[in-house]
Structures are given as structure tokens and as C-alpha cells.
Amino acid sequence: MDPNSRFLLKSFRKYYKENAPLMPERFTKREFGFMFFDRQMVQRHMGFSNPDDLRKFMIAQVPSHSYYSTAYYRRPDAPTMEEKEWLGAELIFDLDADHLEGADKMSYSEMLVRIREEMKNLTDSFIYSDLGFSEKEVHLTFSGGRGYHAHIPADRVLTLGTHERRELVDYITCSGLNIDWVFPFRRVATSQFKTAAGNRTNVARDRLIPPPESGGWKRKMRNGLMDVVNDFCDADVKTIKQTYPSIKSSTAATIIKAQDDIKNSRKTLFDKNSMATLSKATQEMLVKIMKEDVAPRLSGEVDKPVTPDIKRIIRLPGSVHGKSGLRVTPITRDQLTDFDPLRDAVPSSYSDEAVKITLKKDYEFDMKGQHFSLKGETEVPEFAAVFLVGRKVAEFGHISERKDSLF
């Protein structure tokens, strides 16, 4: 075993001696899986009949990563999935910062802030509101790495199949939203006239706006349209183009004309829930903005393959993450608001004792209220060393000392 793995294993063992893992509901029906520092394997198809057995296993084996199944099985320790006999599965939503746009240019701390905001949007705009789950039904967890999990073990979702769970993902991510369903056309007769073939009627096709009592995506889009209307009335052309890239190729004259049109109808649009007072060109410009700019911003972030997978394994709460040393931490919605993993998910079993490390590159971060600006060979508290070595930002020990010991 290399020095880095040996150091992490020692710190993790100390943690597991002082902290018992948190047992998921109906844990005797769950499959458990583990990865290790000292062997290249994944050990799955394990079951535990009581919490003490799991704790003894983790102290003795010291896994680098610990997982449990979101599914319930009649025989969770059976060697094949068919033999396990699937009984149901929690509904899981997983957010990981590496899926964020521009994540490769963010620092670890920046990713944590961004993904926390995405999780707040997911819970508040979708899970608690549109999907109707209560806070008591939803178990939120910091993953220990770069994201968050929402576990919903409610009885009414346990037997949902892959297709139904994928539909929930599509709803949250706004996949396949029909803009003509949100803003449908209404045909209204405007005049009649006689022709040689008989009477004919002129018909106007105007877009309707979802009424205020609408739910789901219609409500979101109504509120979003209100913001767009306010922007067109209050902002200049340059700002509008920057805010709504879908119309950046429109001329200034076209946008100014739409602004005048919208200003004249500002007071009546949402009273009548109709765009009938707007020109056809302005109506279609607004609908284009709502489809291409606003809807994606209102959608939720979620790891699409995770939720439909009814036999998934996921991080075990109370375990520590092998690539960060941070605790997989259950939190409430209130705690999520300003949750800082580098403050709130650092195990207390890691000490302040100085540990020698060698940075692979200059690195600056805040942890447990301390600011670190590091380079080369240095010493940091154990809690910081575990984090840096786990993330492969640093090597355990001073490399120069290792080289000297060879001669």
C-alpha cells in the first residue's frame, strides 16, 4: 500500500472507531457495497442483520467508499440480482457538481456553492412544491464529495418503475416541454365578409397565458413571463440581448418595437391572460424567449441516470468519502441554506496535529474557519491533510525526505 493510502486508512479507522455509520430504514433488506484502500476490488452483495455487525466490519476493513442499495430485497446478500428478489426502491435524486456547466473551471469550494444552490432549487421548486412531498418525507444528504442526495423512502413511491421515475426526471429537467401547451393558440373571429363562394370569416390566432391558478410548469412559465415583460419595459436593448441570448440576432429596431408593444399592453396581459393585444411578431418573440431562455433556467439540475435506476447503490450516511475525507452528512432543509462541507462535514476525529505533506501545485482554500495558502513541502493539521491527500492535491509526507531515505 502506498504512503497516501496508508495515511488515509489510518485516519478513516480512527473515525470509524469513534463513529458508527447511520443505518438506513429497513437496513436488513438492503444490499451493501464497499471499496478499499488496500485492494483493487468492489465488494458487493453484502447484508447485515444488525448495526453492530456493520460497524465491526467497517472498523476492521476500513473501506474507502461505502454504499447501500436504494432498493429493498428479500435476500439482499444473494450473489446475483435475480436471486435477491426486488421488493421496491426509494426515490432518489442525485446532484453532482461535475455535471455543472463550467465545472472544470471552478475551484472545489466554488463547485460546492453552486451545487448547493441547485439543490435548494430542486427541493423548493420541485420536490416540496410540484411533487408534493413534505420535508419529513425527504432525507437530504451531503454526498461527502461534490454534491447532494435527496432520499424519499415514502411507501407510495417504493414500487414506481423505471419509466415512471424517468418521467419525473423529464419533468424536473424540462425535457420535452411543449411550448404550445403552455401558451396555446386561441382562434377568435374578427370580421366576416361575403365572397362569390359565400360568407367568410377572418380569424385571429393569439397566444394565451396560463391563468394564475395554474400549477406545475404552467405556473412557472407564467411567473417567468412576468419577469420577461418587466425586463422589456425597464431594460435597454443591450441588456435585453444579454439576458435573452435567443434573440441576440434581432435588430435593435425590432426589439425597440417589441418594447413599445409590450409597454402598451403591460397592464392587460396578465389580467386577461392573453397576448391578443400584442402583434404577432412580439408574441412569437416572447414565446421564443420563454422556450429557449427561460424554461432551461427554471428547470432543475439532477443526475439523469440515477433516479430511474431501481437497483442503485448510493453513499452510506455517516461514512466518509475516500476522495475527500468528508463525512456523508444528513442535513435538514434549513441546514442546507448555508451548509458548508468544509466546515460542517469535517469529522471531529481528525485532529489539529501537524502532518507533513507535499503539494502537487499551489492550493488555496478555507477549512474549519482557517484559511490555507499552500505550496511545496509544508505542514497542515490532520483534517486538512486528509482532505488534500484524498483529493490528490498533495502527497503524504515530504517527498525530499523520501528521496533522501533511498541513499
How far lies 282's CA from each of 20, 76, 224, in Å?
A: 62, 59, 16
> Could you say which of 96, 206, 352, 366 is catalytic?
96
Helix (H) or strand (E) holding 65: strand 63-69
Integer Cα distance of 166 and 187 in angstroms:
35
**pLDDT tens, N- to C-terminus, the chain (407 residues):** 899 999 999 999 999 999 988 999 999 999 999 999 988 889 999 999 999 999 999 999 999 999 999 999 999 999 999 999 999 999 999 999 988 888 889 999 999 999 999 999 999 999 999 999 999 999 999 999 999 999 999 999 999 999 999 999 999 999 999 999 999 998 765 555 566 665 665 556 899 999 999 999 999 999 999 999 999 999 999 999 999 999 999 999 999 999 999 999 998 999 999 999 999 999 999 999 999 999 999 999 999 999 999 999 999 999 999 999 999 999 999 999 999 999 999 999 999 999 999 999 999 999 999 999 999 999 999 999 999 999 999 999 998 886 554 43
> Could you say which of 94, 170, 234, 334 is catalytic?
94
User: Per residue in 361-370, is it b (16+ CB within 10 Å) or e — as a string?
Assistant: eebebebbee
Catalytic annotation present for 260 = no
The set of long-range contacts for 391-394, using a CB threshold of 8 Å and a minimum separation of 24, is 391/108, 391/323, 391/324, 392/323, 392/360, 393/359, 393/360, 393/361, 393/363, 394/357, 394/358, 394/359, 394/360, 394/363
Catalytic annotation present for 352 = no
Provide the pLDDT for residue 192: 57
> Could you say which of 130, 231, 303, 340 is catalytic?
303
Provide the pLDDT for residue 188: 62
Catalytic annotation present for 303 = yes
The DSSP bridge partners found for residue 358 are 377, 395
Give the three-class secondary structure for 122: helix
Helix (H) or strand (E) holding 372: strand 370-374
